[in-house]
Amino acid sequence: MDPRVAAVGTSAFGRTDLTGRDLFSAAVAEAFADGPDPAEVVDAVYVGNQSESYEHQIMYGTLLAEWCGLRHVPAERVEGCAAAGALALRHAVEDVRSGRRDAVLACGVEKMTAGGTAGATNALSAAFDRALEQRTGVTAPSQYALLAQRYLHDTEATERDLARIAVKNHANGAANPRAQFQRETDVETVLDSDYVAPPLKLFDCAPVTDGAAAVLVANADVAARFDDDRPTVRVAGVGAGANNIGVADRNLTFVEGAHEATTHAYDEAGVAPADIDVAEVHDAFTVCEALLSEAAGLAPRGRGYESALPPAERSDGWTDTHLSTSGGLKARGHPIGATGLAQAVEVYEQLTGTATPTRQVDDATAGLLINEGGVADAVTVAHVLTT
Amino acid sequence: MTDDTDPTTAPLTRDDLTADSPFTLPGFFAALDSGDLLAAVCEDCGKRLIPPRPACYACGGRHLHVDPQPKTGTVVSYTEVRTPPSALADRAPYTVAIVELDSGARLTGRVTVPYAEVDIGMAVQLIARPPDDDEREMALSYEEEWPIHEFEAV
């Protein structure tokens, strides 16, 4: 079967008094506003969710199925730190592709602000190897800083180049009504922000975000029950792979898992990097956008940091892909388990021509999602969406 | 090269995998406490894996032997943790680094040198010491006596 994105929705992103299930309700309300009720079409539910420590709540599959009116369907939580959302999407796609199910709800939710910065720091540290990394006292920013330090050492990139990525994504976020930060910033503001883990500064880091996103993946028959005035968006390719958990053991300047995952997704979709009009790359930290652009073949090795430049000004070997038009994790927000699905929402809007005019890429027909968990290369998931 | 009766070589039997085995974390930390930093060396591709485990993810091989690693190496990358996990709040800021040992094995650890004095390529050596109070607070019950590894300048 040919899996399609039948409907999408998100909550608002940012700090809120709403709980995880409430945020999910908002995402579902949007996704199903113009179509049948979930109970009429949804055959299974996968929930991307990073950590039970924020709300002291597991059983998220059951809870969210119940909260959207479903009973006696398979429903489960999928975990892979920040890749959980795309892992949920991948399960939905595989279920529909196999013909086993007609429509599957992939959703993600995270209530990150519950424990403040310390709560998020502690919860995210669980993604790192307990034996050696956690005992060292590493944090998410410091893990990515180890990548950034080496990237700046091995390439011509500077902290100013990384700052430009944050500035570009804030400018995109300013044009996205879903974004947590709908405001622009400038390079000096980024460079003047405090170091969190040098060379990464506060404005190199995605924020702590509450939010949910929902994507209904369906076969053609079910998809036709939703708004069929829009172009059909197909999930044409998927790739996923776990590399390893310890950052020390990796190639620090080439994200091998992202290369493998995107290559597989391109092959399934029958596209090349140059065909990708829009890409949501996992800019949890600015350096990720540079690294993942290279791994995905969108940028030549060592030049991914030029992602903030207009396509015509980038080095030879770059594609013309527009990167993180949503504002990325940096500005749209990074509700961990929902992020991979928020990426799908953005590319869906781009491919259906329903993005707000100032961020809409003209004639976009192919989009890439790269979602990763556990410091760039522990697990990476890539999806290619096409019209 | 493997010997089914030798606990320092894999493949392992189910009965080999006790808390004394260097292929388990209790065994690895017991050896570290005694002064040996152990890696599992893959006999098929040569990769050195810290901590040891029964299979090599680089090549899929399951023939490995445990080998003490040199304590000296160089900094591959480094940073400074300024917003630490809660348990280590009083210790921040502290330097962490990825270190490549002289054998080629790599691991992450704290460095007992201020961030500004560290650079890529800097020579360091590994030490292991008992956990301090804050590190014990962070530990789960079975981890409380596991030593903490750190790097210091050579």
Q: Each residue of A138-152: pLDDT tens digit?
A: 999 999 999 999 999
Please state the rounded mean pLDDT for residues A319-325: 97
Collect all residues of chain B within an 8 Å Cβ-Cβ radius of residue A249.
Answer: 49, 106
Whole-number average pLDDT of chain A: 97
ipTM entry: 0.96
B80 and B50 both lie in a single domain: no
In chain B, the residue whose alpha carbon lies closest to the alpha carbon of A118 is B86
Residue of A137, A149, A246 lying closest to B84 (CB–CB): A137
State yes or no: pLDDT of B31 exceeds 80.
Answer: yes
Please identify among residues 38-57 of chain B the ones whose CB lies closer than 8 Å to any CB of chain A. Answer: 49-51, 57
Q: A with B: how many residue pairs have Cβ under 8 Å apart?
A: 102
In a domain, B4, yes or no: no
Place of tokens 């096409």: A386
Whether residue B140 is predicted with pLDDT greater than 80 in this model: the reply is yes
User: Taking CB atoms and an 8 Å limit, are A150 and B148 in contact across chains?
Assistant: no
Q: What digits encode the pLDDT tens for the residues A16-37?
A: 999 999 999 999 999 999 899 9
Answer yes or no: are the C-beta atoms of A370 and A280 closer than 8 Å.
Answer: yes
Total domains present in chain B: 2
Asked whether residue B53 is assigned to any structural domain, the reply reads yes
How much is the pLDDT for A230? 86
Residues of B in contact with A194 (CB under 8 A): 82
Interface with chain A: mutation pick from B83, B100, B112, B138, highest number of A CBs within 10 Å:
B83
Both B40 and B82 in one domain: the answer is no
Report pLDDT for B4. 53
B85 and B147 together in one domain: yes
Least Cα distance to A291 among A331, A247, A236 occurs for A247
| Average confidence (pLDDT) over A259-265 | 98
In this prediction, residues B4-21 reach a mean pLDDT of 87
Interface test with B, best of A136, A244, A253, A291 (most B CBs within 10 A): A136
DSSP annotation string for B103-145: TS-EEEEEESS-GGG--TT-EEEEEEE---HHHHHHS-GGGTT
Query: Cβ(A234)–Cβ(A367) under 8 Å?
Result: no
Closest CA to A326 of A353, A294, A292, A360: A360
Cis peptide before B51 (omega within 30 of 0): yes
- B113 touches A: beta carbon within 8 Å: no
Residues A159-178, mean pLDDT to the nearest whole number:
98
Q: How confident is the model at residue A227 (pLDDT cuts 50, 70, 90)?
A: confident
Q: What is the pLDDT of residue A221?
A: 96
Confidence of residue B2 (pLDDT cuts 50, 70, 90): very low
Q: If you search the block for the tokens 């040569």, which residue do you land on?
A: B46
pLDDT at residue A158, rounded to an integer:
98
State whether residue B99 sits within 8 Å of chain A by CB: yes
Instruction: For residue B1, tell me if it sits in a domain.
Output: no
Q: Would you place residue B1 in the very low, low, confident or very high pLDDT band (cuts 50, 70, 90)?
A: very low
Q: Considering B52, B68, B84, which residue would you say is the last residue of a domain?
A: B68
Q: Could you give the CA distance from residue A283 to residue A331 in angstroms, rounded to a whole number?
A: 10
B113 and B47 co-located in one domain: no
pLDDT at A229: 84
d(CA A42, CA A222): 9
CATH number, domain at B128? 2.40.50
Averaged pLDDT for residues A86-115: 97
CA distance A287 to B144: 36
User: What are A's interface residues with B at a Cβ cutoff of 8 A?
Assistant: 117-118, 121-122, 125, 131-139, 141-142, 145-150, 153, 194-200, 244, 246-249, 252
Instruction: Say if residue B127 is in the same domain as residue B59.
Output: no
In this structure, the answer to whether residues B138 and B87 fall within a common structural domain is yes
Instruction: Using a pLDDT cut of 90, give the percent of chain A over it.
Output: 97
The answer to whether position B2 is within a domain reads no
Q: Would you call B84 and A117 a contact, using CB atoms and an 8 Å cutoff?
A: no
Which residues form the domain of B24?
Answer: 9-68
Looking at the structure, tell me whether residues B82 and B46 fall in a common domain: no
| One domain, residues B42 and B91 | no
Contact A112, A54 (CB under 8 A): yes
Q: Which residues of A touch B120 (CB under 8 A)?
A: 149-150, 153
The reply to whether residue A138 touches residue B25, judged by beta carbons under 8 angstroms, is: no
Model pLDDT for residues B56-113, shown as the tens digit of each residue:
999 999 999 999 999 999 999 999 999 999 999 999 999 999 999 999 999 999 999 9
Mean pLDDT, rounded, for B38-58: 97
Same domain, B59 and B95: no
Examine the fold and report which residue of B43, B68, B93 is the final residue of a domain before the chain moves on.
Answer: B68
Distance from CA of A36 to the nearest CA of B (A): 45
pLDDT tops 90 at residue A120: yes
Instruction: Locate the domains of chain A by residue range.
Output: 4-115+209-223
For residues B57 and B103, state if they share a domain: no
What residue type is B95 in one-letter code? T
Q: What is the rounded average pLDDT of the residues A223-239?
A: 92
Are residues B147 and B88 part of one domain? yes
For residue A153, the chain B residues in CB contact (below 8 A) are 77, 120
Does A102 have pLDDT greater than 60? yes
| Beta-carbon separation of A139 and B120 below 8 A | no
CA dist., res. B113 & res. B125, Å (int): 12
Across the range A230-238, mean pLDDT stands at 95
In B, minimum Cα distance to A249 occurs at B106
Please state which of the four CATH numbers 3.40.50.300, 3.40.47.10, 3.40.50.1970, 3.40.630.10 is assigned to the domain occupying A4-115+209-223.
3.40.47.10
Contact A131/B135, CB-based, under 8 Å?
no
What does the pLDDT read at residue A263? 98
Q: What does R_g of chain B's alpha carbons equal in angstroms?
A: 17
Chain B hits for A199, CB-CB cut-off 8 Å, are 79
Quick one: average pLDDT of A122-138? 97
Per-residue confidence (pLDDT) for residue B5, from 0 to 100 = 65
Does residue B77 sit in the same domain as residue B116?
yes
